[in-house]
Structure 1
Amino acid sequence: MKLTVVGGGSTYTPELIDGFARLRDTLPVEELVLVDPAADRLELVGGLARRIFAKQGHPGRITTTADLDAGVAGADAVLLQLRVGGQAARQQDETWPLECGCVGQETTGAGGLAKALRTVPVVLDIAERVRRANPDAWIIDFTNPVGIVTRALLQAGHRAVGLCNVAIGFQRKFAALLDVAPHEVHLDHVGLNHLTWETGVRLGGPEGEDVLPRLLAEHGERIAGDLHLPRPLLDRLGVVPSYYLRYYYAHDQVVEELREGPSRAARVAAMERELLTMYGDPELAEKPALLAQRGGAFYSEAAVDLAAALLGGAGSPYQVVNTLNRGTLPFLPDDAVIEVQAAVGANGAVPLPVAPLDPLYAGLVANVTAYEELALDAALRGGRERVFEALLAHPLIGQYAYAETLTDQLIAHNREHLAWA
C-alpha cells in the first residue's frame, strides 16, 4: 500500500507519522511519500519521520520529493494538508477582518473565505494530477476550510472524503469522562465543518444509550470551560457545540480577545520555528510534546481509521467525515457537504440517518451552507462581485458596508494568490 501526503513538510506531519507507526496493523503502509515544495522543511520532517518508523520497528519506506506527479504516482490514497501562502497568509486572515469588528479566523468569516479562494484552485489542480496518476486513488482532505474544499473536490468528480479532528477530540474527551474505551463512544455529530453540535453521546454504537444528559449534568462545567462558553448556555441548549460555535455565540467577545493578544498565527509561527529546530536533532525519534500545542490532536488516529476503511482495511465502520448531504439534512441541497457520522467503506462514505435538526441549529446550518456555495463559486470563477456576495451572505458579516470594505481588503491581501485579481 502506498500513501502520499501533500504538504508533507508541515510540522503536523510527525503526528501523522506516529499514527502510521503505532497503528500499522490497521493500515499496513508499505511506502509513504511526503511531498512539499519547501525543501528545507521537507528534509527536517522527512528525517524525523524515518527515525520514528525505525524506532517503532515499522518496515515501511519513507521518501520525500518536491515533484508532485512523482509523489502521487501509484498512490492508493493521497492526504492533503497544505496551506497556500503559509503562516504569513494566515496571519493576514486573522488580522485585517478585525478592522471592521469582524472575527479574524482562518476557516470562517472573511479570513476563511480568503483561505478558500487561495486554496480551492490549488487543490483541484492537485486532484486532477492524482486522477491522471491513479483514477482509483482516494483523496482525504484535511486542508481547511474542509467543507468548501471537499465540496469542490466532489463537485469535480473526485473520489474524496473530508476529515476534521473535532469529532475525534470530543470522542476521546467524553470517553475519558465516562471512563470507557474511545471505540465505545458513538457521537450524534451533525452540522457543517467547524459548525457542528453533539446532539447525543451513545455507548456501544448508533443505537446505544444516550448519555449526553448525564455528561452535561456531571461534567458540564469542565466541558463548558474547554469550549470557553458559559455553563448555563450548554444547559439551555442541551447539546455540546464545537469550539467554533463560539465565533457565533460570543462573536463580539471573541473580537475583543483577538484584538488584545498576539494572533494564533503568530503563536503558531513561533511554535513552528521551535519544532523545526527540534526535528533537526538527529537523536529525536518521536514526536515532541510541544507538537500537542500545535493543534490537530488525534489527527493521526482519524486519518489512519479513514484511510483503512476506504482501502478495505480494518478501519471503523462508522466515522465522522465530510461528505455529500444526499438528503440527510432535507433542508439542504443534496450536493452540500455536511459533517456527520457515516458508514465508510471501499465505496466511500454514506451518511447515517440524522434526527430532525432543531430550528435553532438548522437555520444557522442553512445560512452557512448558502455562504459556502457562494464562496465556492467565487473560488472557481473569481470576480469582486462574487467575493462581495459571499461575504454579504456570511452570518458573521452580513452588513453591506462591512462586506464592501472586507472585499477590498481580501483582494488586496491575497492578490498574488488570485489569478483573476
Structure 2
Amino acid sequence: MQLLYTILIMLLVVGGTRITAQFVPIPLPLIQIAIGALLAMPALGLHVRLDPELFLLLFIPPLLFVDGWRMPKGQFWRLRTPILLLAFGLVLFTVLGAGWLIHLLLPQVPLAAAFALAAVLSPTDAVAVSAIVHGRLPRTLMNILQGEALMNDASGLVAFKFAVAAALTGAFSPAEAGLEFVLVAIGGLAVGVALSYALGRFRAWMIGLGWEEPAPHVMFMLLLPFAAYVAAEHLGVSGILSAVAAGMMQSRLDLLPRQTTTRLLNRSVWALLEFTFNGLIFLLLGLQLPDIVKASIGEGELFWTSAGQLALYVGQVYLALILLRFVWTWLYWLVSGVLRRWRGLPSGFAGQSSLRLAALLTLSGVRGAVTLAGVLSLPLLLGNGEAFPQRDLLIFIAAGVILLSLLVATLGLPLLLRGLPADN
C-alpha cells in the first residue's frame, strides 16, 4: 500500500505543479525539483528507492519515441546539417573535452567514469527550453534545438553506455569502440524501423478487417517503444536508437488519418504520458536530492566546506560545457555564413550577429530529463562486485548541472531574445 500511496502522491504533485506554473514565473522543472526536495525532508519523509535498470527502461524509450514521432520531418531534413553537427559532432567534442576536465578536477574519478558523466551531460532538453522561452525563440532555432535534442539523446546515451561498459570492465579500445558504435547504431535503427513497419502492417490488417476500435490501436502504439528497446537490447544493439527510429518511422506509416477518433485519443494519451513522465523525472530528482547531497557531502563540521567545494566542481563542469558548446556553435554560424555568402544564398537570420545566435543556442542547451534518467541508471556495482567509483558524486554533479543550466537559461535567454524576430 505504501508504494501505491507514493505513486498517487507523485502524480498529484506533477499535476498540481503544472497548475502552479501558470501563476509563478518559474520554469515548471524547477518547481517540480523544489517540491520533490521538500517532500523528501524528514518531516514529510517521502522516499523512493530507484532500480537503475528499471528507471532507464521505464522512462527513456517512451520519451525518445514520442520525440521521434512528433519531430517535423520536413524541418528535420531542411536543417539536417546543423542538427547532425550538434547531435553527433558536439556530443563527441563534449565527451572528450568535458571528460578530460572532470578527470583532472576529480582524479579519484576514473577516466572511463568521467567520460560517462560527460556523455550523460551531452543530451539537451528542448521541452525545458520551450517552458522557459514561451514561444519567443525563432522557429528555426527551436526546430534545430528539437532535432538536436532528439538525436543527441540517442548519441549521448549510446556514448554513455560505452563509457559505463569501459568503467565496468576496465578495458577500452577507441578503434573497437568506434566500429562497435557504428554496428550497434545501425542495428538499433534497423530493429526500430522493422518493428515499427511490422506494427504498421498489422494495424492495416486490423483496419482491413474492420477492427477500428481506438483502444487496441493506441495500446499497441504505447507498447511499441518498449518492445523496440527490449528487442534491440536483447540482440545486442542500441535500444535507445531503436526507440527513436520506431517513433520516426511510425509517424511516416501512421494510419490514423483514416481514424479520427483514434488519432485524437492517441495524441491525447501520448501528451499525457509525455507530461507525466517528464514531471516524474524532475520530481524524482528533487526526491533524491537530500540523499545525493548527504552521500556526496556528508554531515558534521566539514559540511559547508565540502558543499562549497562540490558546488565549485558543478560550476566548473557547467562552465566547461557551455564553453565547448559556444565554441562549436559559433564556429558553425561563422563557417555557415561564409559558405552561404560564397554560394549567393540568403541567411535566415540576416543582420543577426553570429555571436548572438551562438549565445542563444549555448544557453538553450539545458540539461534535463534524459540526463537525469541516464545518470540515475549508473550501476551500483562493478563487474568484480566493488561499488561503482564515485557514483554518488557523479549523480550530484549531474543534478547540479541540470539545476544550474535551468537557472542560467531562465535568467539569460529572455535577455538575449530582446529585439530578435520570433518568425524566422
For normalisation by structure 2, the TM-score amounts to 0.29
The structure that is strand-richer by fraction is 1
Higher alpha-carbon Rg: 2
The structure that is helix-richer by fraction is 2
For normalisation by structure 1, the TM-score amounts to 0.29
Compare relative contact order (CA 8 Å, sep 6+) and give the higher one, 1 or 2.
2
